[in-house]
Amino acid sequence: THMEQQELVAALRRVVADGGWQRVGRTADFQSTCTKLFSEDGQHLVLIRTGEDSFRAMDSSCPHEGGPLELGDIEDLGDGRLVLLCPWHHFDFCVQTGSSSTGLQNQVYEVRVVQGDVYVNTPNQLSLSPDAEPDTAGPGESSPDVAEICPSEDTLSFWATKILRTPDPTEKVRLTLEVQDKWRSGQIKEVGRAAPPAQPSRRDDLTVLQPGRIKRGKGGTQASRVALLHSLANIEQWAIDLSWDVIARFSGFSLSSGEPLPRQFFSDFVKVAGDEAKHYDLLERRITELGSFFGALPVHNGLWQSATDTSHDLLARLAIVHMVHEARGLDVHPQTLSRFAAQGDRDSVEVLEIIYRDEITHVAAGLRWFTHICSQEGRDCLSTFHELVKQHFKGYLKPPFNTEGRRTAGMTEEWYVPLVKPSS
The residues that touch Fe ion, with contacts defined as CB under 5 A, are: 236, 239, 276, 279, 359, 362
Alpha-carbon distance 362 to 367, whole Å?
9
Query: From Fe ion, ligand FES, none, which one binds at residue 367 (CB under 5 to 8 Å depending on kind)?
Result: none
Q: Report in angstroms how near the CB of residue 401 gets to ligand FES at its nearest.
A: 15
DSSP H or E segment with residue 92: strand 92-94
To the nearest 10°, report the CA torsion of 234, 238, 243, 245: 160
Q: Report in angstroms how near the CB of residue 91 gets to ligand FES at its nearest.
A: 4
Q: Which residues of 36-70 are buried (b: 16+ CB within 10 A; e: fewer)?
A: bbbbeeebbbbbbbbeeeebbbbbbbbbbbbbbbb
Give the HSE-up count for residue 123: Cα atoms under 13 Å, Cβ half-sphere: 3
Q: Report in angstroms how near the CB of residue 89 gets to ligand FES at its nearest.
A: 3
Q: Report in angstroms how near the CB of residue 315 gets to ligand FES at its nearest.
A: 23
Backbone φ and ψ of 258, nearest 5°: 95, -10
Query: From ligand FES, Fe ion, none, which one binds at residue 62 (CB under 5 to 8 Å depending on kind)?
Result: ligand FES
Query: From ligand FES, Fe ion, none, which one binds at residue 345 (CB under 5 to 8 Å depending on kind)?
Result: none
Q: Report in angstroms how near the CB of residue 75 gets to ligand FES at its nearest.
A: 13
Residue number, 294 or 393, with CB nearest to ligand FES: 393
Cβ contact 20:121 at 8 Å: yes
Residue number, 64 or 202, with CB nearest to ligand FES: 64
Q: Report in angstroms how near the CB of residue 112 gets to Fe ion at its nearest.
A: 43
Residue number, 94 or 175, with CB nearest to Fe ion: 175
Query: From Fe ion, ligand FES, none, which one binds at residue 276 (CB under 5 to 8 Å depending on kind)?
Result: Fe ion
Q: Report in angstroms how near the CB of residue 88 gets to ligand FES at its nearest.
A: 4
Alpha-carbon distance 57 to 44, whole Å?
10
Cβ contact 297:289 at 8 Å: no
Residue number, 315 or 352, with CB nearest to Fe ion: 352
Residue number, 252 or 274, with CB nearest to Fe ion: 274
Query: From Fe ion, ligand FES, none, which one binds at residue 325 (CB under 5 to 8 Å depending on kind)?
Result: none
Query: From ligand FES, Fe ion, none, which one binds at residue 333 (CB under 5 to 8 Å depending on kind)?
Result: none
Of the candidates 329, 326, 354, which has an alpha carbon nearest to the alpha carbon of residue 269? 326
Residues, the chain, total? 424
Q: Report in angstroms how near the CB of residue 108 gets to Fe ion at its nearest.
A: 31
Cβ contact 52:33 at 8 Å: no
Q: Are strands 73-76 and 214-216 parallel, antiparallel or unpaired?
A: parallel
Residue number, 65 or 276, with CB nearest to ligand FES: 65
Query: From Fe ion, ligand FES, none, which one binds at residue 88 (CB under 5 to 8 Å depending on kind)?
Result: ligand FES
Sheet strands side by side (includes 45-49): 108-109, 55-59, 45-49, 34-39, 126-127
The DSSP secondary-structure symbol of 26 reads: E
Cβ contact 103:400 at 8 Å: yes
CA distance from start to end of the chain: 36
Query: Interface with ligand FES by CB under 6 A: which residues?
Result: 62, 64-67, 86, 88-89, 91
Query: From ligand FES, Fe ion, none, which one binds at residue 352 (CB under 5 to 8 Å depending on kind)?
Result: none
Residue number, 88 or 238, with CB nearest to ligand FES: 88
Q: Report in angstroms how near the CB of residue 239 gets to Fe ion at its nearest.
A: 5
Query: From ligand FES, Fe ion, none, which one binds at residue 362 (CB under 5 to 8 Å depending on kind)?
Result: Fe ion
Residue number, 151 or 395, with CB nearest to ligand FES: 395
Alpha-carbon distance 183 to 270, whole Å?
8
Query: From ligand FES, Fe ion, none, which one binds at residue 86 (CB under 5 to 8 Å depending on kind)?
Result: ligand FES
Of the candidates 65, 106, 67, which has an alpha carbon nearest to the alpha carbon of residue 86? 67
Q: Report in angstroms how near the CB of residue 231 gets to ligand FES at its nearest.
A: 8
